[in-house]
Structure 1
């Protein structure tokens, strides 16, 4: 996991959160003609705070700079917004909070009413850099192998990762999960270690069976995977934590001749998602998608935000519009502590940018880390999570992405569609709109300008206006004209 962009994370007190997220979830507006408003300002005076509702009025004639929403023109269907439950995140939640603290935090993360309603999470399969130790589900002593996977076990994850996921699913049954390995077991690799190396040619079949066993074992615990990626960041091989180099031809071979057929044989419905790395190499997924035999097994492509531009996602969509796009990782950290700047980057590039460039899922990196940016076994030494858990006291602080992502996850429900909302003007009023399954409309906006600006919205014969403070993010929710496309 590397970083370049200025992303998140000043920290905020729990007491601020309680005021910020009080009231109802905004899943539908107050009533006919009412628009709910939720606001976050860069000075943190308002943090996902519900403001007075607006009234829909009769639209005037032609006006300049109006956001015109057409809920009959739909784009991708959304699965959700969230983060990754790393080994470190789950360990902290399970071991450093008492029962009351844990219940409160989990509700503020996964409940739509009491919190931000996280609806999608990525789960490392085995250790990432954010783990309490190196492990896979089939480790062997150096020099030994286990091609029949007789020693396969997810006992490590049963201790605290799976119980945390079970609690999250109980709070939000619509929560979907993606599994991603950082490395195959060392005996399958040229390095004979989870560190470095690539997959041995004779390990393709055992690795495919390893995937089958991972998915089946988790599902047996009531924790199904909506999707899997085959390798986290296949073009980055770290020196101090698990990783595995995998070229596009190798990933295509693995899909078409091994994992795809193995999933088919075992009736596994988890989607296969490719790449799972930065915006700057769209040729990688395109190489795989250009192979018809691999293409038939691939659901879509996952991207990270540490290099390149979000618009590169559209290149893959344009070439294969029937394949889905996922945004699966971006971290904040101690290198960027300006709340307003972090809010702007997340809204601009991820909540608005990634969805307007066809992502159906948008995720941050660690759900939770401690006050020392860990636990970590390598890699990033100053990354921060969506929340920070103090190991000594169990106190929880809520970082900037809790609010930036909350502006979408709390209101845009699983199964919503992105809908037409006109141009999003970079550096000015940036926005994206969705229609929920219940027909309600959600508009997420960022005033990226250096001054207060009036946001003007029109949908059909109705309209509303709202003055947004400079640098602020806002979510508007109101009743629509019926349920969204099925």
Structure 2
């Protein structure tokens, strides 16, 4: 490495915040440091949980030319930009964090969730607009007595959120200023719906305008609280109308009409820059976002499409991306639960389908469902009875359990920063190794890998002119980080 390039590395923070990297006395010493790959690993038997291992030194790739098993990383070939990894801050999650932990316990948990140095640095949250199936009650921001309406939105208020949701969000943003938020409504206020209830029904055509203004008021109210909303979906799971908690049917033609005639123009007229993201439902109905995007008048207001992972295959994200490559892809929901209790199996599913699968299929965000639930899988509001949060908060003791989703997502969220780009990683496509690579804004290279085989995998990671020999145990997840990679020739 030339001395000019060497000096640019001085003062670069290490990925885990261990302090400022000291400038080496000689170019040779610094080059050796720069070429080392830092490692973290999680084992399926929980013997290691996002545990840092020893650095891996690279050797000139031509000296290792006999190796056939290799992953090649190409930082010059970029794909989508990454907004972040995280979960949903439901009403239940925020209430537990704010009310069932002591100040010290809450501070410790928030650091573990949102701090990059001492935690996993979550950088994206999804926020229900009003109640979901995980809330202490069913509510919206403009509820009126049965039979009444409020078309002027005179009773609109986010006072409910000021008690514990907004304080938790503000604390999270203090720990991670890059934190972004997507808002998703489960239901419009009952008086706007055909069912006259938060449960069931669809949006009345005559309520399109007032609902667009309702959503705009929400965005403005949160902006006034210092919490800007990055993206908004018009409806959570528009093809699922639950009979026990808030929900609302919205067909593709209805979503396109609502966006092009009301929501898009209203946000534009009010100077709101929140992105509009469509669908927000399962992989198995790619025709829905394609239908909405095929409407040219709606298309001009749409930033992208969001997907859930309860049905279908992650490859449908690429189907939508390939049809509309100028529109972003978001992955916004999947939950763990008592239907799947094997740690290693859950780690495998999340790594293959979400952390690696969703990002290799163009996702800018990868989010789980509840950030926190209690020991009884609640508080519940009529929905899933055995869902699992990223963490479990015991209401009696305040004890916090970090679940498998915490470690799976930590393999990406701790190291892949907001604004990173997915970069090319290829090789071992026919093997049992899944992988994805990123380049952070500061130049750090991150490789996330998972060994799906029942035997240890032995392979090289090739980056620049170096080869890094790696052994990854069966069923293990690993992250490899080059904190300030500068390829030869830069």
**Structure 1 residue 24 and structure 2 residue 16: aligned?**
yes
**Structure 1 residue 42 and structure 2 residue 44: aligned?**
yes
2:175 corresponds to which of 153, 171, 178? 171
Shift of 1:481: 4.4
> Which of the two has higher C-alpha Rg?
2
**Structure 1 residue 379 and structure 2 residue 371: aligned?**
no
1:335-414 to structure 2, matched below 5 A, reads 335-414=339-418
Shift of 1:479: 3.9
**Count of residue pairs the alignment pairs up:** 461
1:129 corresponds to which of 125, 129, 133? 133
2:326 maps to 322
- Choose 26-35 or 112-121, whichever is displaced more: 26-35
User: C-alpha separation between the residues in 2 aligned to 1:342 and 1:283?
Assistant: 29
TM-score, normalised by the number of residues in structure 2: 0.92
8 Å contact 1:447–1:471 — kept in the other structure?
Answer: yes
User: C-alpha separation between the residues in 2 aligned to 1:152 and 1:174?
Assistant: 29
User: C-alpha separation between the residues in 1 aligned to 2:379 and 2:130?
Assistant: 15
8 Å contact 2:369–2:389 — kept in the other structure?
Answer: yes
5+ long unaligned stretches in structure 2: 1-14, 22-31
Question: What is the Cα-based RMSD across aligned positions, in Å?
Answer: 1.6
1:83 corresponds to which of 81, 84, 87? 87
The residue matched to 1:241 in structure 2 has which SS? coil
8 Å contact 1:26–1:477 — kept in the other structure?
Answer: no
Shift of 1:87: 0.1
TM-score, normalised by the number of residues in structure 1: 0.93
Tell me: CA distance 1:185–1:424, structure 2 relative to 1, closer, same or farther (3 Å). Answer: farther
2:103 corresponds to which of 78, 94, 99? 99
8 Å contact 1:342–1:400 — kept in the other structure?
Answer: yes
1:17 maps to none
**Structure 1 residue 448 and structure 2 residue 452: aligned?**
yes
- Choose 423-432 or 403-412, whichever is displaced more: 423-432
**Structure 1 residue 250 and structure 2 residue 254: aligned?**
yes
Question: Deviation string for 1:85-109 (max 9, x for gaps)?
Answer: 0000000000000000000000000
5+ long unaligned stretches in structure 1: 1-22
Shift of 1:56: 1.4
1:56 corresponds to which of 43, 55, 58? 58
1:108 corresponds to which of 107, 112, 123? 112
The residue matched to 1:67 in structure 2 has which SS? strand
1:18 maps to none
Tell me: CA distance 1:109–1:62, structure 2 relative to 1, closer, same or farther (3 Å). Answer: same
User: C-alpha separation between the residues in 1 aligned to 2:346 and 2:267?
Assistant: 40
1:219-238 to structure 2, matched below 5 A, reads 219-238=223-242
Question: Deviation string for 1:134-181 (max 9, x for gaps)?
Answer: 000000111111111010000101100001000000110000000000
User: C-alpha separation between the residues in 1 aligned to 2:476 and 2:320?
Assistant: 31
The residue matched to 1:421 in structure 2 has which SS? strand
User: C-alpha separation between the residues in 2 aligned to 1:334 and 1:155?
Assistant: 34
